[in-house]
Amino acid sequence: METEEPPKSVEVTSGVPPVRHHILQNPRKTAVPGESPGVLQLGKILTEKAVEVEAIRILVPKAAITHDVPSKNAKGKSRGHHRGELLGQSEGTVEPRKELSEVKNLLEKLKNSERRLLQDKEGLSNQLRVQTEVNRELKKLLVASVGDDLQYHFERLAREKNQLILENEALGQSTAQLSEQLERMSIQCDVWRSKFLASRVMADELTNSRAGLQRQNRDAQSAIQDLLSEREQFRQEMIATQKLLEELLVSLQWGREQTYYPSTQPYTTAELALTNHKLAKAVNAHLLGNVGTNNQKKILSTVEFCSTPAEKMAETTILDCQLFLKCQSKKKRKHPLVLVLLFRQIPSSLILESPFFHTV
C-alpha cells in the first residue's frame, strides 16, 4: 500500500528576515568595537557571567512560503537598508517599535500558515484514510480473484491428472496386450524358423537325392540303350543263323522225306533263340545221331561266359541304385522325429513350389 509522506519542514533562509532579540541599550553607552554586528551590550558585562543569546531559527513548511521576487531597486534598497541598519547598530540607534511590529506581523503570518498547515494535514489524513480503505478493498478483491484463479487452476490440473491416469492405465493395458501378442508372435516365428530350417535341410537332401536319381536314371537309360542295341545285333545274327541252319537242314534232307519246312512268321528274340536251338538239335541228330547228354554237360561246365560292356554297365547301374537306396534308408533312420513332424506340418504346395526342387 502506498502512503503519502507528510510534508517535510523546510528551513527558511530567504524571504523572511531572521528575528533578532535586540536588547535596548542606553544611548549614552557606546558599542564596544570589535564585537560582531547586531549584538548590543548594556553597560559593563563580564564575560564570565554573561550569556550570549542567539537569534531564533524558525522552521516553516514549504507550502506556507510565498516567494516575492524583489526588483533590482528593492535589492539595492535592502542592501542599503541593511548597511544603514548595520551602521545604525554600530552607531547605537535602534528602533524597537518597528521591530516589534515586524515580529507581530511575522507571528500572525506564522499562525495563519500553521492553521493552513493543520487544515492541509487534516485533509491529507482524510485522503490517506480513504486511500487506505480503498487499498484494503482492492487488496481483498485481488486476493479473492487470485484465489479463484488458483482454485480453478488446481481443479483443472486435478482433472487433467485424472485424465492422464486413465490414459496411462489404458496404455498400460494395451502395452500388456501388445507384449503378449509379441511373445506369441515370437514363439510362432521361432516355430516357423525351425520349420524353415528343417524344410531347408530336407530340401537340400531331396535336391541331392534328386540329382543322384537323375544321374542314375541317365546311367540306366544309357545301359538300357546299349542292351537294346546289343539285343538288336544278337537278333540280326540269330536271324542269319536261323536261315543258315534252315538251309543246312533242308540240304541234309535232300532226297529224303522232308520233315522240316521253313516258316515265314516273325519271331521274338526268345522264340528265335528256341527255333535256332531246335534247328541245331535237328542238324546234330541228322549228322551225329542220338548222342548221350554226358558230353553236353561236360562242354557246358567247361564254358565260362563274360558280360558285354552293356551288361556290365547295367550291372553297375543296378549296384549304384541299390547302394543309393541303402544310404537314403540310413539317412531317414538318422533324422530326428521332430524334423519329420515339422516337415509334415508344412503344406505340400509350398514344398513343391520351393526353388530347391527346380534345381538339378
Per-residue pLDDT tens digits for 146-204: 777 788 888 989 999 999 999 999 999 999 999 999 999 999 999 999 999 999 998 99
Tell me if 221 sits within 8 A of 259, measured CB to CB.
no
* Predicted local distance difference test score (pLDDT) of residue 59: 65
First-to-last C-alpha distance (Å) of the chain = 102
**Tally of CB atoms within 10 A around 128:** 13
* Predicted local distance difference test score (pLDDT) of residue 146: 76
**What single DSSP character describes residue 291?**
-
- Distance, CA of 339 to CA of 346 (rounded, Å): 11
* Predicted local distance difference test score (pLDDT) of residue 342: 44
Instruction: Say which amino acid occupies 5.
Output: E
Residue with cell 503519502: 4
- Distance, CA of 253 to CA of 156 (rounded, Å): 136
196 phi/psi in degrees, rounded to 5:
-65, -45
Q: Among 277, 274, 244, which Cα is nearest to 262's? A: 244
Instruction: Say which amino acid occupies 148.
Output: D
E strands, 174-326, are: none
**What single DSSP character describes residue 8?**
P
* Predicted local distance difference test score (pLDDT) of residue 297: 54
* Predicted local distance difference test score (pLDDT) of residue 325: 78
Distance of CA 134 to CAs 1, 129, 143, Å?
10, 9, 14
Enumerate residues 6+ apart whose C-beta is below 8 A from 4: 124, 127, 128, 131
- Distance, CA of 292 to CA of 88 (rounded, Å): 210
* Predicted local distance difference test score (pLDDT) of residue 61: 67
Helix, strand, coil in percent for the chain, rounding step 5: 70, 0, 25
- Distance, CA of 144 to CA of 41 (rounded, Å): 75
Distance of CA 112 to CAs 63, 214, 230, Å?
12, 141, 165
Q: What angle do CA 251, 252, 258 make, to 5 degrees?
A: 85
Q: 191-208, pLDDT tens digit by residue? A: 999 999 999 998 998 898
56 phi/psi in degrees, rounded to 5:
-75, 130
- Distance, CA of 195 to CA of 180 (rounded, Å): 22
What does the CA dihedral 137, 140, 142, 146 come to, rounded to 10 degrees? -170
Tell me if 58 sits within 8 A of 110, measured CB to CB.
yes
- Distance, CA of 347 to CA of 350 (rounded, Å): 6
Distance of CA 306 to CAs 89, 237, 310, Å?
183, 19, 11
- Distance, CA of 161 to CA of 149 (rounded, Å): 18
pLDDT string in tens for the chain (360-residue length): 444 444 444 444 444 444 444 444 444 444 444 444 555 555 566 666 666 655 556 666 666 666 554 554 544 445 555 555 555 554 444 577 888 888 999 999 999 999 999 999 999 999 999 999 999 888 888 887 777 778 888 898 999 999 999 999 999 999 999 999 999 999 999 999 999 999 999 899 889 888 988 988 888 889 899 888 988 998 899 888 888 888 888 888 776 666 666 666 667 888 888 888 888 888 888 788 766 555 555 555 555 668 788 888 888 888 887 887 787 776 655 444 444 444 444 444 444 444 444 443
